[in-house]
Structure 1
Amino acid sequence: MQTVDIVVIIVYLLCSAWLGLKLSGRQRNVKDYFIGGRDLPWWAVCISVVATETSALTVISVPGIAYLGDVTFLQVAVGYLIGRIVVAFLLLPRYYRGEMTTAYAYLGLRFGRGMQATASVTFLFTRLLADGVRLFAAAIPMKIILDSLGLDISYFVIVAIMGVVTILYTLVGGIRAVVWTDVLQMGVWLVGGIISLVIITGNLDVNFLTVAAEEGKTRILDLTSDPISSPYATITAVLGGALLSTASHGADQLIVQRLLGCRTLRDAQKAVIVSGVVVFFQFALFLTVGLALYSYFERATVEQLGLSTSDELFPVFIAEGLPPGLAGLVLAGIMAAAMSTLSSSLSALSSSSMADLYERFAHRRLDQEQALRVSRLFTLGWGLVFIGAAAMFTGTDSPVVELGLSVASITYGGLLGAFFLGLWVRRARQADAALAFGVAVATMAWLFLFAPDLVGFTWYTAIGCTITVGLGYLSSLRHREDAPEVEGAPAPTEEERP
């Protein structure tokens, strides 16, 4: 690591802040701040969706998955694409017909503001934990490299630096700043991944794909593993990935907020479906990096290399194998992934706090200028909380990407089930939805904390969704007629009527 690498990282941080502020334009009201006035091009939203869900986990952890095992993780990406198609044609039309600004507004219109607030609060805490993991993940390679330079800088300081820069452009520019900065950031880490792969292969005397094939690492389908306990058995990975993607892209404000910023429903549908294709090839790139690293490190185990987890493999290569300047670029790419997710989370958390909680329960009406000021205060507050949350993580025994997905999946099933309950069970009322949702989240939290090896994390969303819909349906049987229409709810179409 040379001085030029530090310069590259500093330049990247400054350019990110400048670009976000430059392209955000003037924010006149809350609609501009949170959904860009519904005037964002679909291709930019598509890239932003991918950038938001990628985070630093993909960049540093996915190569480790291929290094330790194989590329069956790609099956999850196939499920992701299926889930996005469901979101495009089942959920997005409801959001656009109701002119909503958050995903949970639908639950408020269908069941009542209590369920909307419950879903929003659950989203806030889950997103805080899940993205706390992701922000911590970005600090891992920075810590390794700074330690190699003899600089004993804590994870907290590294996280704080990334956090402050991200808070700056998100606070001022809102979702427009987030989306356009995402476009830059995704380009940086993809270029970094491609450059790394080229340099690794250039240093090898063997064909890394041949070596990987000899070790069984090029396997894509897993038709033999136990589908219950193995997260990458084919049926588990595809079905689990589809449900996880349906929940994350249809019931999570983090993604829905971007899709609501598109100019039309058709644009939003294109953005979400094409993002699934882009994610597949992105996973393929970083899994291939992991296969190349397996030959680069001469098939050594993580322990033989003196490392504690597979998440350190790619960062160690960056520190030792990349020439000056390029190491800084790849590190900037990892930081870009983390900052993209953080900025997206800040915007989503503040929009949900404002629309689902403050505006619902405040006893005074705000004009546009006051509402914009409060929204920015929410952004600042959540940014500071995020930095503190990320500082709580100090390590993990499993690949950090799996930890992040597991944490998010605790509530994804319950959220998705609540949406399906509202769409399919006309008798269901707010009490039915709240009971079923609470039981589902409690069950998944118990599995995550006390029985993590009982089922693979890719089953979490399916189990939570099934509990919510099933229990909600049984609870609704005590009502003799359909739930009354909530005032302000969009009328159901013919296809939605029972």
Structure 2
Amino acid sequence: MRALNWIDWTVLIITLLAIVVYGTLHTRGSRNVQDYLKGGKTSKWWTIGLSVMATQASAITFLSTPGQAFNDGMGFVQFYFGLPIAMIVICMVFIPLYDRLNVYTAYEFLENRFDLKTRTLTAILFLVQRGLAAGITIFAPAIILSVVLGWNLLLLNIIIGVTVIIYTVSGGTKAVNVTQKHQMIVIFLGMLVAFFIIISELPADITFSKALEIAGANGKMNVLDFSFDLENRYTFWSGIIGGTFLMLSYFGTDQSQVQRYLTGKSIKEMQWGLMFNGLLKVPMQFFILLVGIMVFVFYQFNKSPLNFNPTATEVVLNSEFAEEYQILQKRNDQALSAKKAAYSMYNLSGDESIFYDIKQINEAETDLRNEAKVLIDKAAEKQNIKVESNDKDYVFIHFILNNLPRGLIGLLLAVILSAAMSSTSSELNALGSTTTIDLYKRNTTEKTEEEMVNASKWFTFGWGIMAIIVACIANLAENLIQLVNIIGSIFYGNVLGIFLLAFFFKFVKGQAVFIAAIITQIIVLALYFLDLYDHINLPFLWLNFVGCAIVITIACLLQLTTKNDTKTTTEKD
């Protein structure tokens, strides 16, 4: 693994400092709540669109997604198929209502429609899931960078967290929006550069079209899966149904996103910003997955480690299983030689049947990687060490550090850290504003504008410290991008159902919704853990639909039962 040199450090530090300093200097000094929490309602549609995208596109997106494609192909893009549908619904229903009520948070509306306890419960559900997610968005890049670069994990968590806290507390929502606009420019530029570098590093006779052909022959270009298989997490149906409900809840009721578009100058600016996100997000995710596919093609012709996590390799090579692991490494090298020979034959003969042989070699290579993971887990258990054998999140960073030119390594690391900062800043900003408006302001005596701004700053600071603490005690999941979506799916369906009840079920009152929401959250948690330990085959994406359906059903039944009970009592009297 190559170490960073002075050029990489210079590019990395200057890029990050420029963003932070610009955001801090250009947005400090907010003296009223309107400026601090809504950015003075001055944002244009392109700022809103980029800010919304930056909030969702965390460092996890750029670390995990290419690795996801490297291992499983393009199918993950189906996860986002519900996004455009959700954007249309939010633009037509949610935005006009929020604008008319002039709310600071999405949850203010729920008190007007139901009651204070329903508003408070929904706000707390948001605070719990988003507080955990904020810690993970710090932890995700920190743990991977600490492993591959040898940096101290605790120190990295603190550096990322404190950097974000500085400009988020200083400038509020406007600082988040302004910095995210520049962060997204860095991110787009970095990913485009990485893509073209990968293409240029392929053998001279492997054009882009041939690279796609190679990927397709190995099953990596299968975008659509129309099977209704609950064992398969990513299908067309899970994306359209589960994904739509997830995106509706995330963009329509999650304050970290709602706060991004509430800064818009007008309803039209907000709507155009979200539609911009809806149109660009799926192609962006497709492109990031395509980068991962090109990394897969690159390693068809270049040596790859048996496991991309260097710590895992080190652990097993320093154990009693070292000899077995080295045998697997030799077999992995032989597989690469066999693939090179097969590709040479294909270039000479043009016989596409050779791709079948190549696919068989790649499947054998996958088996070798799985055997390696078993040995790594055994070695870690013997040494009583916790190490991650699943290396999906390490694939892209391994490629960056070992194959990109100097300077570009620093740029791509800036991309990863910029993404971490952008999503974390949105989360802290939303956590601070929700705590201030929905809990603090609603349950205290009247406060001045200055007192409210100061309270919001302190709450934002407090959530920042909490996020750093969560990051420091978090454990790495099978795949980080899935972990964030799992946390969201556990809560989002319930929250979305509460909002849909508020919008469309006018006969349902607050008491029924409050009880239904508590029951639903218990049921969804039970379903998740049953799937986790008893394998009931309910992928997490479906929890969004299930949670939404359950809370609506229970609330309607409770309200109807209450009505019937009231009528019966009246008749008897």
Residues in 1 aligned to 2:496 and 2:561: alpha-carbon distance in whole angstroms: 23
- What does 1:202-213 align with in structure 2 at a 5 Å threshold? 202-205=200-203, 206=206, 207-213=210-216
In the alignment, structure 1 residue 332 sits paired with structure 2 residue 414: yes
Conservation of the 8 A alpha-carbon contact between 1:227 and 1:235: no
In the alignment, structure 1 residue 409 sits paired with structure 2 residue 489: yes
One-letter amino acid matched to 2:80:
A
Residues in 2 aligned to 1:265 and 1:410: alpha-carbon distance in whole angstroms: 31
What secondary structure is seen at the aligned counterpart in 2 of 1:451? helix
Conservation of the 8 A alpha-carbon contact between 1:67 and 1:291: yes
Residues in 1 aligned to 2:304 and 2:521: alpha-carbon distance in whole angstroms: 35
- What does 1:109-258 align with in structure 2 at a 5 Å threshold? 109-147=112-150, 153-205=151-203, 206=206, 207-224=210-227, 226-258=228-260
Deviation at residue 303 of structure 1 after TM alignment: 7.4
What secondary structure is seen at the aligned counterpart in 2 of 1:480? helix
What TM-score does the superposition give when structure 1 sets the normalisation length? 0.92
In the alignment, structure 1 residue 74 sits paired with structure 2 residue 77: yes
In the alignment, structure 1 residue 422 sits paired with structure 2 residue 502: yes
Q: Larger deviation: 164-173 or 16-25?
A: 16-25
Conservation of the 8 A alpha-carbon contact between 1:413 and 1:440: no
Aligned residue among 524, 528, 534 for 1:448: 528
What secondary structure is seen at the aligned counterpart in 1 of 2:26? helix
Residues in 2 aligned to 1:265 and 1:11: alpha-carbon distance in whole angstroms: 37
Q: 1:489 is matched with which residue?
A: none
Residues in 1 aligned to 2:154 and 2:527: alpha-carbon distance in whole angstroms: 29
Aligned residue among 45, 51, 55 for 2:54: 51
Residues in 2 aligned to 1:172 and 1:462: alpha-carbon distance in whole angstroms: 38
What secondary structure is seen at the aligned counterpart in 1 of 2:230? coil
Conservation of the 8 A alpha-carbon contact between 2:231 and 2:538: yes
What TM-score does the superposition give when structure 2 sets the normalisation length? 0.80
In the alignment, structure 1 residue 384 sits paired with structure 2 residue 465: yes
Conservation of the 8 A alpha-carbon contact between 1:77 and 1:276: no
Deviation at residue 208 of structure 1 after TM alignment: 2.2
Deviation at residue 289 of structure 1 after TM alignment: 0.8
What secondary structure is seen at the aligned counterpart in 1 of 2:81? helix
Residues in 1 aligned to 2:121 and 2:288: alpha-carbon distance in whole angstroms: 37
One-letter amino acid matched to 2:229:
P
Conservation of the 8 A alpha-carbon contact between 1:260 and 1:268: yes
What secondary structure is seen at the aligned counterpart in 1 of 2:270? helix
Residues in 2 aligned to 1:301 and 1:221: alpha-carbon distance in whole angstroms: 30
One-letter amino acid matched to 2:106:
A
Deviation at residue 299 of structure 1 after TM alignment: 8.2
* Shift in CA distance, 422/200, structure 1 to aligned 2, threshold 3 Å: same
Percent identity, aligned pairs only?
Answer: 31
* Shift in CA distance, 5/240, structure 1 to aligned 2, threshold 3 Å: same
| Deviation digits for residues 295-347 of structure 1 (CA, Å, limit 9, x no counterpart) | 12228999723533211000111111111111010000000001001110111
In the alignment, structure 1 residue 3 sits paired with structure 2 residue 10: no
Q: 2:95 is matched with which residue?
A: 92
In the alignment, structure 1 residue 16 sits paired with structure 2 residue 19: yes
In the alignment, structure 1 residue 476 sits paired with structure 2 residue 568: no
One-letter amino acid matched to 2:415:
G
Q: Which runs of 5+ in 1 are unaligned?
A: 148-152, 484-498
Q: 2:452 is matched with which residue?
A: 371
Q: 1:439 is matched with which residue?
A: 519
Runs of 4+ in 1 over 4 A off after TM superposition: 299-303
Conservation of the 8 A alpha-carbon contact between 2:134 and 2:428: no
Conservation of the 8 A alpha-carbon contact between 1:73 and 1:237: no
Q: 2:430 is matched with which residue?
A: 348
Q: Which runs of 5+ in 2 are unaligned?
A: 310-388, 567-573
Residues in 2 aligned to 1:375 and 1:467: alpha-carbon distance in whole angstroms: 34
| Deviation digits for residues 251-276 of structure 1 (CA, Å, limit 9, x no counterpart) | 11010011111111121111112101
One-letter amino acid matched to 2:542:
W
What secondary structure is seen at the aligned counterpart in 1 of 2:508? coil
Residues in 1 aligned to 2:435 and 2:222: alpha-carbon distance in whole angstroms: 44
Conservation of the 8 A alpha-carbon contact between 1:85 and 1:273: yes
What secondary structure is seen at the aligned counterpart in 1 of 2:57? helix
Deviation at residue 249 of structure 1 after TM alignment: 0.5
Deviation at residue 191 of structure 1 after TM alignment: 1.1
Residues in 1 aligned to 2:256 and 2:170: alpha-carbon distance in whole angstroms: 18
Q: 2:64 is matched with which residue?
A: 61
What secondary structure is seen at the aligned counterpart in 1 of 2:232? coil
Higher helix share: 2
* Shift in CA distance, 331/278, structure 1 to aligned 2, threshold 3 Å: same
Residues in 2 aligned to 1:385 and 1:464: alpha-carbon distance in whole angstroms: 27
One-letter amino acid matched to 1:119:
T
* Shift in CA distance, 56/299, structure 1 to aligned 2, threshold 3 Å: farther
One-letter amino acid matched to 2:272:
K
Residues in 2 aligned to 1:435 and 1:384: alpha-carbon distance in whole angstroms: 32
Deviation at residue 441 of structure 1 after TM alignment: 1.7
One-letter amino acid matched to 2:220:
K
Conservation of the 8 A alpha-carbon contact between 2:81 and 2:236: no
| Deviation digits for residues 173-231 of structure 1 (CA, Å, limit 9, x no counterpart) | 0111100100111111111111111111111123321111101111111023x432322
Deviation at residue 64 of structure 1 after TM alignment: 1.2
Residues in 2 aligned to 1:301 and 1:291: alpha-carbon distance in whole angstroms: 16
Aligned residue among 537, 543, 547 for 1:460: 543
Deviation at residue 104 of structure 1 after TM alignment: 0.5
Q: 1:495 is matched with which residue?
A: none
Conservation of the 8 A alpha-carbon contact between 2:39 and 2:173: yes
Q: Larger deviation: 47-56 or 121-130?
A: 121-130
Query: Over aligned residue pairs, what C-alpha RMSD do you find?
Result: 1.8
Q: 2:373 is matched with which residue?
A: none
One-letter amino acid matched to 2:511:
A
Deviation at residue 38 of structure 1 after TM alignment: 1.4
Residues in 2 aligned to 1:425 and 1:69: alpha-carbon distance in whole angstroms: 41
Deviation at residue 171 of structure 1 after TM alignment: 0.6
* Shift in CA distance, 268/122, structure 1 to aligned 2, threshold 3 Å: same
Q: Larger deviation: 204-213 or 332-341?
A: 204-213
Conservation of the 8 A alpha-carbon contact between 2:79 and 2:234: yes
Residues in 2 aligned to 1:35 and 1:231: alpha-carbon distance in whole angstroms: 37
Residues in 2 aligned to 1:466 and 1:222: alpha-carbon distance in whole angstroms: 25
* Shift in CA distance, 332/141, structure 1 to aligned 2, threshold 3 Å: farther
Residues in 2 aligned to 1:299 and 1:401: alpha-carbon distance in whole angstroms: 28
| Deviation digits for residues 110-151 of structure 1 (CA, Å, limit 9, x no counterpart) | 11111111111110110011232222112144213322xxxx
One-letter amino acid matched to 1:392:
I
